[in-house]
Structure 1
Amino acid sequence: EQPGAAPQGAVNLLQMRNRTDSGIDSYRSILKSEEPQESGDISGPREKFSAVEERLDSAYGSSSITGESLSELVQSCEISSVQEEQETQSSELSEQEENLLTTITEEGDTFLHLAIIHEDGVIIQHLIDLFPKEVLDIQNNLYQSPLHLATYLNLTDVVKSLVEKGVSLELQDHDGNTALHVACQHGQTECANEMTQNVSPSKLAPVLETQNWRGLACLHLAALNRQHQIMKVLIKKGADLNIQEGTSGKTALHLAVEQHDVVSVKLLLKWGANVDAAMFNGCTPLHLAVGRQDATISDLLCHAGADTMLRNMEDETALDLADGNDDILALFPFDDIQISGRSVVGVKY
């Protein structure tokens, strides 16, 4: 160990200052029981985590800390009951309670992260009741908040309790995903409901617009993963149907076409998605459908009013991409007059 290095198991809280809404330092500043402890000199339950060698939040079932030992650690802190807290709101927190609030592992997990990983409902609820919002929003070294983990594990009741406590829905993990992104990707419909149904539009709107590091908003992920129920939830809550993902400018309709997902295409068109939305290269959903020789979706788009004469940056119309497919060609007008290869008068079959 190098001279001056922090003891094994200690966490350099200074490294967390750049973390979004980490909560540790801000909460310590309002604790009345004692002055903040020095970085690397945190006593109490933290020392019991110094031997943890495996990543808890990336290997839910493999950990040297069991649910039983976690329960013992929490109980050892002699947490006050809700009734006792209400009766002594103005009193100072005990040293043990402060340790429980501020202790994190080398991987950045709080007691609540660990309780969620071990799916211990009693301890989870106890900690949610005890912890203030600043601590509930702490993100671990993978930038996962307790809400992220609860969503990954599809713990609907935990998600509900966290949302009711007012946790941030905008926090992004190391992939740029909010908890709602996670729900859309993994089909956690009930979790998505809990994160949207009783949330004000002003609080939800930024989440629906947030793009992860791949440039995908929640609606994009739901479309990519054929999560039709979640798509309905997002649309009803005001998700922008025509929001473009950040890499190529595809909308959810483009993505649904690429997936050959007729249900999603019908759903998006029904709710008013722009049938002629253009990607950064000028391709519309019809270009993609024809290019993929998908006559069924091409027909849906044409009946929804898709403009068959729009050209992409390669100066191609959807007709140019039909490649002799008679079923698709039957959807397009034939050319009576052409000037330099462009149709001037078109007549429907």
Structure 2
Amino acid sequence: GHTDVVELLLANKASVDTQPPNGATALNIACEFGQVGAARALLASGASIELATDQGYTALMSASQKGHTDVVELLLANKASVDTQLPNGATALYIACEFGQVGAVRALLASGAAIELATDQGYTALMSASEEGHTDVVELLLANKASVDTQLPNGDTALTIACEYGQVGAVRALLASGAAIELATDQGFTALMSASEEGHTDVVELLLANKASVDTQRPNGATALKVACQYGQVGAVRALLASGAAIELATDQGYTALMSASEEGHTDVVELLLANKASVDTQLPNGDTALTIACLYGQVGAVRALLASGAAIELADGQGFTALMSASLKGHTDVVELLLANKASVDTQRPNGATALYIACEYGQVGAVRALLASGAAIELADDQGFTALMSASLKGHTDVVELLLANKASVDTQRPNGATALYIACEHGQVGSVRVLLASGAAIELADDQGFTALMSASLKGHTDVVELLLANKASVDTQLPNGATALYIACEYGQVGAVRALLASGAAIELATDQGFTALMSASLKGHTDVVELLLANKASVDTQLPNGATALYIACEYGQVGAVRALLASGAAIELATDQGFTALMSASEEGHTDVVELLLANKASVDTQLPNGDTALTIACLYGQVGAVRALLASGAAIELADDQGFTALMSASLKGHTDVVELLLANKASVDTQRSNGATALYIACEYGQVGAVRALLASGAAIELADDQGFTALMSASLKGHTDVVELLLANKASVDTQRSNGATAL
């Protein structure tokens, strides 16, 4: 503001409009800091009055924000644009209103500032002043005919905004200017609701004095009273009730004001509502009351107030949950104790039989459990599935609850209808802490379920190694068998639980005990492809070549199911690669039939006999061809499989593939020089067979390889006759296109036609 210096610099030709990186000029700076003398000198030297900063601020906006009225008037007298807008739409007027600069506002309005120009969010100058509570500015704008009821896109007006922010002076001014008191937002919020939610009691009282509708409801049914109760605004609640607010009006979900205050734990509001005769036992459609809601959320003050007003302590919801059950589920011990002190029934059962004690045990709420037991809760009451409180806590691994129940003489060996005990259940779910406590209390370690499963088997199946080790350390029988002969070891192997397998073997589990079908642990692990288990069993001297009654070995089984890792491990341990089933099937045949190419290649690399024949003459190659396993066929041919070996019906590999229409296999065989015109004893060729079964792809491949189209069987049937007899039109057309003789006759004179 050193005006004399400014004038001297300008007289010496200082550049008047130089801008730093932020765009502010000497004029903009002088205006921001209210230096009217400097501003006058700069303007006299031709300073650009509209040059703005990089944020879009003009000199007029800067002076207006800071309330330098003399500077604002000077700029306007020098023709500053009054309605220039920032990128967000704000004008000098809007800015002055936001910051409560009444002098600047007066000057801008006097210069014709557009009073309704809004920001890109729809905010007007009146809304801005109302939000900030600049009552003098609000009054000045209204005196200058500002629109009082303009709405934002969400429906807010200057009045709803002022009410939300508790600006009672602005509210009074707006109401005095006729603001529509009932205009609501797009969510249905009225000015009264906004003020009630925020707890601006003075605003609520002012609105009610101006006849605001006290019971207007949002689309969800909430009233100003419901909103005030939800947010614990006791002053607003008192004012609304004094104005006759309907205390029982509920939302579309059935929530009353009392329920809402009870859920949030606003005890003072709950007490005020009850003093005003709120219905204490109104129920939601699901049966919940204010009491059950308060109990669920652990609002002990609200619970005390509701009980003191006679709330029905045993009213249950539609699922049979009482207040005591709700508090027990969530572990609100203080609420549980309060309910019990008020004579809540301790052993009420839900339709499924669960009691408050059962529920508290299920959710591990040890404080609630202790309180319930101290009040005599029946410790053995079970649900309709036969689950006791001890079983429930054991299943979830709530060790502290398990210990507390056992200390209170819970029966440790009670069995469900399926025979499961708390110990069995804890083992099944891997709850090692519960298992340890139950064993220390003498739980019967060998009690089995109705399928014969012991605790050890259950833990082994699920792979809970720590539980398995604990059971074994407590002398669990390691070789108990199910009715089908399976042991804990067999089960662990079947499910690939390598940790459990290791623990069982270390405890001397019988590695060769088989099921009633003859399956050993090694076979089971091999079938499922649990390579780590297979390797562990073999390292523990499992017999590698034990056979099922049908002759299958672990190797055969692994090959059948394509378990290449298990196959590799078995071969590395010397498994007999040629041991066959009682039907003569070798491991190679089994893998070839199923198309496990990687297994076929591994067997061949380990010198499996490639041309072994079944009693009917089939080889691994003919089997792979019959089932269309092109990868296996390729591997077998690469290992020198005899391509012309036929079965006892004279079927070659090419005939088998042709019969089933495996075109890719037919092409592969032909590429490997399979004889295209070999005939069975009845004279049928691969072409004849493919035509008989309508395998057009195979037919095309055979013809392309020069198959003799006229070779007939011993009944004189040609390929064309065979396809014609069966109605394979596409094959007939293909044969004719390849010059098949159309009128060849059988010995009886019959033609294809």
Partner of 1:187: 595
1:199-214 correspondence runs (5 A): 199-200=606-607, 204-205=608-609, 207-211=610-614
1:310–1:150 distance in 2 versus 1, CA, 3 Å? same
Partner of 1:307: 708
1:65–1:222 distance in 2 versus 1, CA, 3 Å? closer
1:1-349 correspondence runs (5 A): 48=479, 50-53=481-484, 70-77=501-508, 100=511, 103-117=513-527, 119-131=529-541, 135-197=543-605, 199-200=606-607, 204-205=608-609, 207-211=610-614, 216-246=618-648, 248-323=649-724, 325-332=732-739, 334=741
Query: How many angstroms apart in 2 are the aligned matches of 1:291 and 1:137?
Result: 44
Partner of 1:93: none
Query: How many angstroms apart in 1 are the aligned matches of 2:603 and 2:496?
Result: 30
1:125–1:338 distance in 2 versus 1, CA, 3 Å? closer
- 3-state DSSP class of the match of 1:302? helix
How far off its partner does 1:268 sit? Answer: 0.5
Superposition TM-score, scaled by structure 1 size? 0.63
Q: Supply the AA of the counterpart residue of 2:533.
A: I
- 3-state DSSP class of the match of 1:128? helix
Query: How many angstroms apart in 1 are the aligned matches of 2:744 and 2:631?
Result: 47
Q: Supply the AA of the counterpart residue of 2:737.
A: A
Query: How many angstroms apart in 2 are the aligned matches of 1:245 and 1:177?
Result: 14
Comparing 178-187 with 117-126, greater Cα deviation is found at 117-126
Contact kept? 1:52, 1:64, Cα under 8 Å: no
- 3-state DSSP class of the match of 2:604? coil
- 3-state DSSP class of the match of 1:208? coil
How far off its partner does 1:183 sit? Answer: 1.3
Query: How many angstroms apart in 2 are the aligned matches of 1:138 and 1:311?
Result: 50
Query: How many angstroms apart in 2 are the aligned matches of 1:61 and 1:75?
Result: 14
Which one has a bigger Cα radius of gyration? 2
Superposition TM-score, scaled by structure 2 size? 0.31
Q: Supply the AA of the counterpart residue of 1:331.
A: N
Query: How many angstroms apart in 2 are the aligned matches of 1:147 and 1:273?
Result: 31
Structure with the bigger percentage of helix: 2
Deviation sequence 1:118-160 (CA, Å, 0-9, x none): 654333213324538xx31111223221112222343212211
Query: How many angstroms apart in 2 are the aligned matches of 1:122 and 1:65?
Result: 8
Query: How many angstroms apart in 2 are the aligned matches of 1:52 and 1:259?
Result: 43
1:315–1:239 distance in 2 versus 1, CA, 3 Å? same
Contact kept? 1:150, 1:158, Cα under 8 Å: yes
Comparing 103-112 with 155-164, greater Cα deviation is found at 103-112
Q: Percent identity?
A: 24
Higher relative contact order, chain-length normalized (CA < 8 Å, sep 6+): 1
Query: How many angstroms apart in 2 are the aligned matches of 1:173 and 1:195?
Result: 17
1:66–1:130 distance in 2 versus 1, CA, 3 Å? closer
Contact kept? 1:183, 1:189, Cα under 8 Å: yes
Query: How many angstroms apart in 2 are the aligned matches of 1:129 and 1:229?
Result: 33
Segments of structure 1 that go 5 or more residues without pairing to the other structure are 1-45, 78-95, 343-349
Query: How many angstroms apart in 2 are the aligned matches of 1:103 and 1:55?
Result: 8
RMSD: 3.8
Deviation sequence 1:17-38 (CA, Å, 0-9, x none): xxxxxxxxxxxxxxxxxxxxxx
1:239–1:118 distance in 2 versus 1, CA, 3 Å? closer
Contact kept? 1:309, 1:318, Cα under 8 Å: yes
How far off its partner does 1:244 sit? Answer: 1.6
How far off its partner does 1:316 sit? Answer: 2.1
- 3-state DSSP class of the match of 1:238? coil
1:336–1:153 distance in 2 versus 1, CA, 3 Å? closer
Q: Supply the AA of the counterpart residue of 2:675.
A: N
Q: Supply the AA of the counterpart residue of 2:585.
A: N
Partner of 1:29: none
Contact kept? 2:486, 2:514, Cα under 8 Å: no
Segments of structure 2 that go 5 or more residues without pairing to the other structure are 1-476
Q: Supply the AA of the counterpart residue of 1:127.
A: L
Deviation sequence 1:290-336 (CA, Å, 0-9, x none): 22344543332233222233332222232433538343123235489
Contact kept? 1:291, 1:321, Cα under 8 Å: yes
Contact kept? 1:52, 1:63, Cα under 8 Å: no
Contact kept? 1:308, 1:318, Cα under 8 Å: yes
Q: Supply the AA of the counterpart residue of 2:535.
A: Q
Q: How many residues align?
A: 266
